[in-house]
Amino acid sequence: MKRKPNLILFGIDSLRADHMSLYGYPRLTTPHMDKFVAGGTAFANHFSPHIPTTPGYASMLTGMDAFGLNVVALRHEGGLPAHLRTLPEILGEKGWQTVCIGFGGNPASRGFQKYVEFAGWGPAEKGGRSPKAENLNNAAVPELKRLAAANKPFFLFLRHMDPHSPYLPPLPFERIFYQGDERDPANDSLNDMKAFKPFRDYITSWLPEGCTDKEYVIAQYDGALAYMDACIANLFAQLAALGLEDDTLTVITSDHGETLHDHQCYYDHHGLYDPTLRIPLAFVWPGKVPAGKRFADVTQMKDTCPTILELMGLKSGISYDGCSLVALMKGRRRTPEPDFYITECTWMRKHGWRTPQWKLIHALEPDFHFKPEVELYDLIRDPEENDNIAEQEPEVVRMLEARMQAHIARREKETGRANPICTNLNWHGKGCGPFKSSQQAYDAMHIGSIATAQKLQADANTNEHQTQRGSKVL
């Protein structure tokens, strides 16, 4: 009898593709993943259009866009909608053992048979280090061994948290990419962040006392990637030692990227800029997935689930919003989708439209950065999105707005539901409806500490235990 394949999905939180050496970043941040992915296929222009965490992972695990999900907000009210079937639900019904490491609280993780948690945030004390990936390994390795010993195929989902703030890589990773003086009094590069009331208390709570250099903070993010990569190498080694490589599809991706110091977003993942939207995607399965392939085609999060199912030879009977990438892997033509709708509901409520040349961002209520309602960027001339040319190019704005509204109207008709970015009016959890001014948003949105940030994530998951059907939470 042909053995059913296993699935290991690395759903790494806040992993910005352009800070991975896998995609050409000059710092050697992901050498072990680079080597592993060389045995498979990677996609270089993969996007998570609906940020942040909850819609990102929901799209990853269902193959749906924002309209298909009816989910756009971090603090999604209620569980995952009943009309959706998640990847763990599909595989569980077909006989797979399904285990989720580190994501047992979020509505997007509905349907796993077992949930195992680990310490994935960081120490509250000033200057402490956080072995997030080692903590994950301590939970994941016993599960991997248990699953390997059973006579059933398995799906193991791993949510690494190292790229998510606070960036606290253990020694020696703290300084492998930084040799300067992070307390140099002449350096004022963190002054703007320290003046930004919503985030300053949280960020300075995990930075060294007196830190002045933004490059130190960025080096902590890169060091966290390198540390995580070294720990992931242990999982790759376990996979080989257990003799599972030939029978296991391994997928590496993320829910969204990270802004770091870009666009005044300060070490977070809000703002509809490409550092937040562009994420990694790679598939490795010896003999089943082509080795050494790299594709530059624009792909989206909604494509991940249907690709996994086709590679595993499984049919779900679901009409996905996404499209399998297997055709590309096999050298066949795949209808491209270079223009797409983008949404954000983290600290701001915005949507927009991205094409190969243009990025339109339209705020649906005033934001706490006091940014203009409409932003337009020429991605060819200004790939870092630093020059807002909305006022200079009103015709382009009108054209992109018309395309976006036509897409919204079409998807609303197809799904029979209103655009969720327009109906999630308590996305911030403040109970006041849409913000009336940027000052109101600025005063209302505040993180005070690591514990507060962790609680915000937990508050987003209030109803998960009622919505994870038949699940066991450890």
**DSSP letter string, 121-173:** S--SSTT----HHHHHHHHHHHHHHHHHHSSS-EEEEE---TTSSS--PPTTT
Q: Is the pLDDT of residue 397 over 60?
A: yes
Task: Dump pLDDT digits (tens) for 217-245.
Answer: 999 999 999 999 999 999 999 999 999 99
Task: Dump pLDDT digits (tens) for 50-62.
Answer: 999 999 999 999 9
Indicate the pTM of the whole model: 0.94
Q: How many CB atoms lie within 10 A of CB 334?
A: 17
Map out the domains of the chain as residue ranges: 6-335, 341-444
Are the C-beta atoms of residues 234 and 140 closer than 8 Å to each other?
A: no
Q: Is the pLDDT of residue 462 over 50?
A: no
Structure tokens belonging to residue 75: 């603090």
Are the C-beta atoms of residues 342 and 354 closer than 8 Å to each other?
A: yes
Task: Dump pLDDT digits (tens) for 315-362.
Answer: 999 999 999 999 999 999 888 899 999 999 999 999 999 999 999 999
188-193: average pLDDT: 97
Q: Which residues pair with 9 in a beta bridge?
A: 157, 251
Structure tokens belonging to residue 335: 């209808």
User: Side chain identity at 252, as an amino acid letter?
Assistant: I
Task: Dump pLDDT digits (tens) for 132-157.
Answer: 999 999 999 999 999 999 989 999 99
Percent of the chain with pLDDT over 70: 93
Place of tokens 């998640």: 86
Furthest-apart CA atoms within the chain: distance in Å: 69
Are the C-beta atoms of residues 116 and 474 closer than 8 Å to each other?
A: yes
The 3-state DSSP class for residue 3 equals: coil
Task: Dump pLDDT digits (tens) for 264-288.
Answer: 999 999 999 999 999 999 999 999 9
Positive or negative CA dihedral for 219, 220, 224, 230?
positive
DSSP string, 397-446: HHHHHHHHHHHHHHHHHHHTS--HHHH-TTTTSSSS-S-SSHHHHHHH--
How would residue 466 be classed by pLDDT, with cut points 50, 70 and 90? very low
- Of the candidates 206, 205, 220, 228, the residue with the CA atom closest to the CA atom of residue 261: 220
How would residue 472 be classed by pLDDT, with cut points 50, 70 and 90? very low
pLDDT computed for residue 458 by the predictor: 57
Place of tokens 């593709």: 17
Task: Dump pLDDT digits (tens) for 408-445.
Answer: 999 999 999 999 999 999 999 999 999 999 999 999 99
Q: For 413-443, give one letter per residue: b (16+ CB within 10 A) or e.
A: eebebebbbeebeebbbeeeeebeebebbbe
Q: How many CB atoms lie within 10 A of CB 290?
A: 15
Q: CA-CA distances (angstroms) from residue 369 to 25, 212, 363, 418, 425?
A: 29, 21, 11, 28, 19
Pick the CATH number of 6-335 from 3.65.10.10, 3.40.50.720, 3.40.720.10, 3.50.50.100: 3.40.720.10
pLDDT computed for residue 456 by the predictor: 58
Task: Dump pLDDT digits (tens) for 94-109.
Answer: 999 999 999 998 999 9
The secondary element (H helix, E strand) that includes residue 457 is helix 450-459
Q: Is the pLDDT of residue 471 over 80?
A: no
199-207: average pLDDT: 93
Q: Is the pLDDT of residue 465 over 60?
A: no
Q: Which residues pair with 8 in a beta bridge?
A: 156, 250
How would residue 467 be classed by pLDDT, with cut points 50, 70 and 90? very low
Place of tokens 């991605």: 379
pLDDT computed for residue 474 by the predictor: 36
247-270: average pLDDT: 96
- How does strand 374-378 pair with strand 472-473? unpaired
pLDDT computed for residue 78 by the predictor: 86
Q: Is 474 exposed, middle or buried (0-12, 13-18, 19+ CB in 10 A)?
A: exposed
Place of tokens 């140099």: 184
Are the C-beta atoms of residues 202 and 448 closer than 8 Å to each other?
A: yes
pLDDT computed for residue 304 by the predictor: 98
**What CATH number has the domain spanning 341-444?**
3.30.1120.10
Structure tokens belonging to residue 109: 């993780």
Q: How many CB atoms lie within 10 A of CB 183?
A: 13
Q: Which residues pair with 250 in a beta bridge?
A: 8, 284
pLDDT computed for residue 453 by the predictor: 62
Q: Is the pLDDT of residue 212 over 70?
A: yes
The residues near 195 (Cβ < 8 Å, ≥ 6 apart) are: none
pLDDT computed for residue 335 by the predictor: 87
pLDDT computed for residue 122 by the predictor: 76
- Of the candidates 72, 111, 106, 105, the residue with the CA atom closest to the CA atom of residue 91: 111
pLDDT mean across residues, the chain: 93
How would residue 121 be classed by pLDDT, with cut points 50, 70 and 90? confident
As a whole number of angstroms, the distance between CA 361 and CA 434 comes to: 18
Q: For 372-388, give one letter per residue: b (16+ CB within 10 A) or e.
A: eebbbbbeeeeeebeeb
